[in-house]
Amino acid sequence: MLLAACASAPPPAPSTGPAPGHWQLVIEVEDMPGMGKVPPQTMTLCSTAEDKKQWQDMIGGKTAAGCTVKDYQARGATISYVMQCMGGIEGATLITVTDDNNYRGESRLSLKAGDKAATIRSKVTARRLSPECKK
């Protein structure tokens, strides 16, 4: 079956975002106006199936917390989108989901206050500690 051996594999299914569970995130703010690079911050959080649904609704173009997501794209394990919020706030995010237990992302957030504009760049590395949230 030479033909079967030459056929290309189907493209990976688009990611639906991180799986629910207990997560640890390491957030690095690379460029904070007036502060430069900020030391990495580690936090844990519980992400439920409902949180995932709300996130999928938001990136699907529904407005959330005064923000609208535009230009959403999912290609394989990579998700990208642009967000526009009230008050002249704009952001762009790129997320790569490695597997159900790991993802990483980069964000750029632009803010305007009168004549002044600022851009904040950050990175996140996330690891799921458990599929269940700790009480």
**Which two structure tokens, joined as six digits, stand for 92?**
């762009």
- The segments of the chain whose pLDDT lies below 50 read 1-14
Percent helix, strand, coil in the chain, to 5, is: 10, 55, 30
Are 113 and 101 in contact, with CB atoms under 8 Å apart? Answer: no
What's the confidence (pLDDT) of residue 11?
A: 39
Is the four-CA dihedral 57, 58, 61, 65 of positive or negative sign? positive
**Block residue for tokens 């975002």:** 17
What's the confidence (pLDDT) of residue 107?
A: 93
Q: Give the C-alpha separation, 2 to 116, whole Å.
A: 63
Collapsed DSSP state (helix, strand, coil) of residue 45:
strand
Domains of the chain by residue range: 19-130
Cα-flanking dihedrals φ and ψ of residue 30, to 5°? -85, -25
